[in-house]
Amino acid sequence: MELRKTFQFEAAHLLPRLPKSHKCRRLHGHSFKVEIVVDGELDARLGWVMDYADMSKAFKPIWERLDHRYLNEIAGLENPTSENIAIWIWNKLKPRLALLTEVTVAETCTAKCVYRGLERSRTDDSAAKRHKTHKN
């Protein structure tokens, strides 16, 4: 059975590897939404897979590092694409949340990235490809 919990953080960033003419190369911010997904067996006695409060507790230190920050200044997020943010969150969260199966990062209400771990996702080269092919 799968559980999903959504969190939000506000942060600024720029994408330093893009051409200077690209809008995402300029400093800007988002109200990021992060959804974390766990998958496990239903505990027949308790009637749940896990306590949502435990999901929140595991994510809180990560949220504190991201909320109202300049993401480019965080080690490992020097190029803070949605893809790299999702991978970064996964790497920090998976040791605390063994049942983790998915991290989704949405930078707008219409643009999001889903990461399911190294063996189930493509390489982070997709960020560079996306920005080369879409000139918004």
What are the tens digits of pLDDT across the range 17-39? 999 999 999 999 999 999 999 99
| pLDDT given for residue 119 in this prediction | 63
Catalytic residue among 13, 83, 102, 107: 107
Tokens 């189930």: give the residue. Answer: 120
Compute how many other C-beta atoms are within 10 angstroms of the C-beta atom of residue 97: 19
The yes-or-no answer on residue 30 being catalytic is no
Backbone torsions φ then ψ of 2, nearest 5 degrees: -110, 140
CA gap 33, 74 in Å, rounded: 18
Alpha-carbon distance of 34 to 5, in angstroms, equals: 8
Asked whether 80 and 124 are in contact (CB, 8 A), the reply is: no
Determine whether 35 is an active site residue: no
Domain ranges of the chain: 2-133
Q: Which two tokens mark 56?
A: 């929140």
38-88 tens-digit pLDDT? 999 999 999 999 999 999 999 999 999 999 999 999 999 999 999 999 999
Give the active site residue among 2, 10, 64, 68: 68
| 113 labelled catalytic | no
Query: Could you confirm whether domain 2-133 is CATH 3.40.50.970?
Result: no
